[in-house]
Amino acid sequence: MASKEATVYIVDCGSTMSERSHGRKQTNLDFALEYVWDRITATVATGRKTAMVGVVGLRTDGTRNDLEGEEDYAHITVFQDISQMLMSQVRKLRNDLVLSSTEGGDAISAIIVAIQMIAKECKKLKYERKIVLVTDARGPMQTDDLGDIITKLKEDDIQLVVIGVDFDDAEYGFKEESKDATKAENEAGLKQLCNDCGGAFGTLVQAVDELGIPRVKSTKPVPSYKGFLTLGNPELYESAMAIDIERYPKVMAATTPSASKYVVRSDMGDATQSNMTMNGEDGQNGSYDGLAAVKNAMTYQVEDTNAPGGKRDVDRDELSKGYEYGRTAVHIAESDRNVTTYETTPGLDVIGFVDKNQYERYLDMSRSNLIIAQRNNEKASMALSSFIHALYELDSYGVARLVPKENKEPRTILLAPIIEPDFECLYDIELPFAEDMRSYKFPPLDRVVTVSGKEIEVHRNLPNDDLQDAISDYVDSMDLSTFGKDDEGASTEYMPMDETYAPMLHRIHQVIKHRAVFADAEPPPPYEILTRYSHTPDELVRKAQPALDRVLEAANIKRVPHKARGRRGRKEAPKPLSELDIGALLAQDPKRKHKRIDPKNAIAEFRQLIIQAEEDSAVRDACTQLKNIVFEWIRHSVGNSGYGRALEAIRVLREEMVDLETPAIYNEIMQELRTKLLAGDLGEGRGEMRYHVVTKKLGLIKASDLPGGATDDEVSKWRAAG
């Protein structure tokens, strides 16, 4: 668990902050707030009660602080005492942190106020204490006697961060020309203060810039297994090895915030207007924003032949737990709940060793963990080290059986040694079991085998030498292993994993934080770094272009024209392996001569009629026949028994009409179906059938998908019940 935090932000609201310096469009205060809000909302986003924030306005029109009696502390306003920050406070602070009309207010005094606030709240308890001052340093400042402050900051272990509007920063490469003399003096004073107390001092441009580099949340390592690594069985044999080890996650997907479902509260007349004005003291459960959570209420049914519709509701309390074995229910009494548990005892046991070079990386399952010796156990560390080095020297991996906790299912894992200058461990990855392998087969990629078993080396699916060469050159010219630059400008790996950030995770955080403060503004564009690795860098593309051009020429790729996929006449009738002319046989079949679809074989015969059809009238006739059959199925359906067939026929009809690009025929039929279902022409209680037609993507073919289709208006009308 992260430790408790107390951070006080001191925001300079002085009248000089209204300037727009260095060609920036926003005022210096807004610029400063961009940083401050980002930091504050990042804290809010953690949702932690122990991450507390205080906010002090510097050079405010009014004065409100514990030392306000003294003249030195004028124009300093404590807007928020140290506490957990919630949305209501964010809204309040939005109104508080505005430009003042004064230049008075001493930044050093504000720091003292902040120190006091922290002392009052945190007492001697364990906290991470921090004061962040954002200012343009153009107010009056008494910087002569700072000794006490420095001592106090150090004593209380408070980190001081000073971020200045257009402060000079040689390292970052920023220098303000013709700097105001007061500012220069104050800037120097603050810098000295930071140096003396071990704080941080920087310029705002850099701070705002760096907001675009996501912060990675660090997580305290929690062991996923603690116990022995054994080789052999110590309970049976004296020759067994057992080393005390601990296992920790190495990779764990960071979770992206997920949105919950809400509806506008029914008791709110107009939800939108009340958003900003309500003072969120009294509400609960998200009611400030006029939203109520949406829950999924479950009702339960069992089959009951006597009940209307064949189903009967049962109460949640009447249910018990069990399993489904096919369509048979297996009841397991409460007392027998453990009967299906395979009883195991925790352990990590070596099964054997494998050759590293023969190991196929695609077998890796799940995320990786790392294994180190029990901490502060030097003997175990030495023992494990010999294991790690032996594997490394032999180019081997271990295979082991892991049971992390009692009665957990055993897993087989791979143990891979890693040796770094100051660190050694085993990385482990879960391996698949027999049941996890799906044997799908695919033809070879480097040769074509014909039905007769002959191998062909020249074939349209195989690359010729030109293509092989071109691809080879292309791959070589797109090399990323040396494309990156390190801090010294030397070649290094481009986009190593620890410099890539989860785009969606940080994108969602970014827009939530933004929206929380600027409720009415458009969400900002994503940080550059989140999309940086979505394309090959231009420089590399330029370098690889000649090779790429050769690949394009040799590959001769042709896009399959969208429309040509299934137009009438162009579609070839499928043939069996022997290439027997089934079409001719069908034509001779006496039962099919009259082109009347047998309802029992409706789908096949419909498809056959469509593929044979040479005129639109034949298509229309086939569709009409199928339509009538579908209507009969629905009409005679007992409960929902006929719906499956009807839906399948409708799906086939839709597919064929899309293929033939004749949406009108389908849409007409669906209009008729809608009318009939609503009018009860196909029997009473056909609502479920309608529900399926609407939800299973069987609706009208839209004009946006296919010319001649239905308009959006027609589509929504068709979907509507009334």
Partner 1 sequence: MASLPYRDNTSRPSNYGRGDDDDEDEEEEEADESGYKSSKDAVLFAIDVSESMLTKPTGGDDKKSDTTLSPTLAALKCAYALMQQRIMSNPSDMMGILLFGTEKSKFQEGDQETGRGGLRYPHCYILTDLDVPAAADVKQLRSMVEEEEEAADLLVASKEEVSMANLLFCANQIFTTKAPNFSTRRLFLVTDNDFPHASNRDARNSAAVRAKDLYDLGVTIELFPISHPDRGYTFDRSKFYNDIVYSASPSDPDAPAPLTADIKPASSTAKDGISLLQALLSSVASRSAPRRSMFSHMPFEIGPGLKISVKGFILIKRQEPKRTSYIYVPPDSDKPQIVTGVGQLVADDTARTVEKAEVRRAYKFGGETVSFSDAELAKIKHFGDPVIRIIGFKPLSMLPIWAQLKQNYFIYPSEEDFVGSTRVFSALHQKLLRDQRMAIAWFIARRNANPTLVALIPGREQRSDEGEQIMPPGLWIKHLPFADDIRAPPDTEVVKAPDPLIDAMRTVVQQLQLPKAVYDPGKYPNPGLQWFYRILQALALEEDLPEKAEDKTLPKWKQIHKRAGPYVVEWGKVLEEQYRVWQKDNDRQPRINANGGAKRAGGAAPTASSGRSAKKVKADDGGDGGEAGITDAEMRAAFAKDAVGKFTVADLKAWMQGKGIKAGTKKAEIVDAVNGWHETKMEID
Residue from 15, 67, 140, 494 binding partner 1 (CB under 8 A): 494
* Region of 17-25, 61-69, 127-135, 446-454 interacting with partner 1 (CB under 8 A): 446-454
Task: Find out whether 502 and 256 touch, Cβ atoms under 8 Å.
Answer: yes
Q: Which of 145/336 has CB closer to partner 1?
A: 336
Q: Which listed residue (4, 94, 179, 651) binds partner 1 by CB under 8 A?
A: 651
Under a CB-based contact definition with an 8 Å cutoff, are residues 701 and 718 in contact? Answer: no
Residues with Cβ within 8 Å of residue 135, at least 6 apart in sequence: 10, 12, 14, 32, 58, 107, 162, 164, 165, 190
How many chain residues touch partner 1 (CB under 8 A)?
266
Q: Backbone phi, then psi, for 86, in 5-degree steps?
A: -125, 175
CA distance 16 to 105: 12
Which residue from 83, 189, 82, 197 is spatially nearest to 135, judged by alpha carbons? Answer: 189
Q: Which residues contact 532 (CB under 8 A, 6 or more apart)?
A: none
Rounded Cα–Cα distance for residues 607 and 623 (Å):
10
Length of the chain: 722
Query: Which C-beta is closer to partner 1: that of 44 or that of 165?
Result: 44
- Please list every residue from 464 through 483 that binds partner 1, using CB under 8 A: 464, 467-468, 470-472, 474-476, 478-481, 483
Name which of 680 and 708 has its Cβ closer to partner 1.
Answer: 680
CB of 79 to partner 1, least distance (A): 16
Q: Minimal distance in Å, beta carbon 235 to partner 1?
A: 7
Is residue 54 close enough to count as binding partner 1 by CB under 8 A? Answer: no
Binding status of residue 50 toward partner 1 by CB under 8 A = no
Q: With CA atoms as reference, report the closest residue to 595 among 625, 629, 627.
A: 625
Q: Which is nearer to partner 1, 95 or 237 (CB)?
A: 237
Of 305, 306, 328, 335, the one binding partner 1 (CB under 8 A) is: 328
Nearest to 670 by CA among 722, 615, 709: 709
527 forms part of the interface with partner 1 (CB under 8 A) = no
- Indicate whether 272 belongs to the interface with partner 1 (CB under 8 A): no
Interface with partner 1, residue 703, by CB under 8 A? no
What three-state secondary structure class fits 469? helix
Rounded alpha-carbon distances, angstroms, from residue 282 to 267, 279, 288, 372, 519: 15, 8, 9, 51, 21
Give the Cα separation of 390 and 537 in Å (integer). 42
Under the binding rule (CB under 8 A), the answer on residue 288 touching partner 1 is: yes
Instruction: List the interface residues with partner 1, window 556-575 (CB under 8 A).
Output: 556-560, 574-575
Closest CB 549 distance from partner 1, rounded Å: 9
* Cβ-based neighbour number of residue 110 at 10 Å: 29
Interface segment toward partner 1; rule CB under 8 A; list 31-39, 135-143, 184-192, 324-332: 324-332
- Binding to partner 1 by residue 628, rule CB under 8 A? no
Per-residue tokens: 345: 């005892």
Nearer residue to partner 1 within complex by CB, 152 or 226:
226
Q: Under the criterion CB under 8 A, does residue 497 sit at the interface with partner 1?
A: yes
Task: Identify residues 156-215 at the interface with partner 1 (CB under 8 A).
Answer: 214
Residue 243's nearest CA partner among 140, 399, 89, 348 is 348
C-alpha of 607 from chain center: 43
> Measuring CA to CA, which residue among 614, 697, 684, 612 is closest to residue 658?
697
> What is the Cα–Cα distance from 113 to 649, expressed in whole angstroms?
77
| Cβ neighbours of 226 (radius 10 Å) | 15
Angle between helices 602-612 and 643-660 in degrees, nearest 10: 10
Stretch that binds partner 1, among 101-109, 115-123, 156-164, 545-553 (CB under 8 A): 545-553
CA separation (Å) from 322 to 327, 332, 610?
Answer: 13, 5, 49
548 binds partner 1 (CB under 8 A): yes
Q: Is 645 in the site for partner 1 (CB under 8 A)?
A: yes
The nearest distance, CB 627 to partner 1, in angstroms, is 17
Under the criterion CB under 8 A, does residue 500 sit at the interface with partner 1? yes
Taking contact as CB under 8 A, which single stretch among the options 94-102, 174-182, 232-240, 615-623 is the one that binds partner 1?
232-240
One of 24, 48, 92, 719 touching partner 1 (CB under 8 A): 719
Q: Does 34 bind partner 1 (CB under 8 A)?
A: no
58-to-38, 364, 405, 637 alpha-carbon distances in Å: 19, 56, 55, 77
Name residue 99's amino acid: L
CB atoms within 10 A of CB 225: 21
Q: How far is the CB of 149 from partner 1 (least distance, A)?
A: 32
By beta-carbon proximity to partner 1, the closer residue of 133 and 634 is 634
Choice from 334, 576, 594, 617 touching partner 1 (CB under 8 A): 576
CB of 105 to partner 1, least distance (A): 29
Q: Cβ of residue 597: shortest distance to partner 1, in angstroms? A: 12
Touching partner 1, residues 385-404 (CB under 8 A) = 385-391, 393-394, 396, 398-399, 401
Q: Shortest approach of partner 1 to residue 663 CB, angstroms?
A: 21
Determine, following the binding rule CB under 8 A, whether residue 495 of this chain makes contact with partner 1.
yes
Site for partner 1 in 399-438 (CB under 8 A): 399, 401, 405-406, 409-410, 412, 414, 416, 418, 422-425, 427, 429-438
Q: Which is nearer to partner 1, 266 or 617 (CB)?
A: 266
578-597 residues near partner 1, rule: CB under 8 A: 578, 580, 582, 585-586, 589
- CA torsion 572-577-579-581 (nearest 10°) is -80
- Minimum CB–partner distance for residue 631 and partner 1 (Å): 16
Contact predicate 607/652, CB 8 Å: yes
**x-marked contacts with partner 1 along 249-268 as a string, rule CB under 8 A:** xxxxxx-xxxxxxxxxxxx-
Q: Is 695 in the site for partner 1 (CB under 8 A)?
A: yes
> Considering beta carbons, is residue 98 or 252 the nearer one to partner 1?
252
Query: Residue 331: which residues within 8 A CB-CB, separation 6 or more?
Result: 320, 322
Binding test (CB under 8 A) with partner 1, winner from 124, 327, 570, 594: 327
Site for partner 1 in 76-115 (CB under 8 A): 85-90
Query: Hunting for tokens 């482990």 — which residue is that?
Result: 428
Question: Which of the residues 294 through 323 are near partner 1 (CB under 8 A)?
Answer: 294-303, 311, 314, 318-323
CB 54 within 8 A of CB 81: yes
Tell me if 458 contacts partner 1 by CB under 8 A: no
Which residue, 121, 13, 112, is CA-closest to 65? 112
Report if residue 47 touches partner 1, rule: CB under 8 A. Answer: yes
| CB-nearer residue toward partner 1: 151 or 472 | 472
Please choose, out of 27-35, 110-118, 125-133, 345-353, the segment that lies near partner 1 by the rule CB under 8 A.
345-353
Task: Tell me if residue 498 falls in helix, strand or coil.
Answer: helix
Q: Nearest-CA neighbor of 51 among 129, 152, 155? A: 129
What residue type is 240 in one-letter code? A
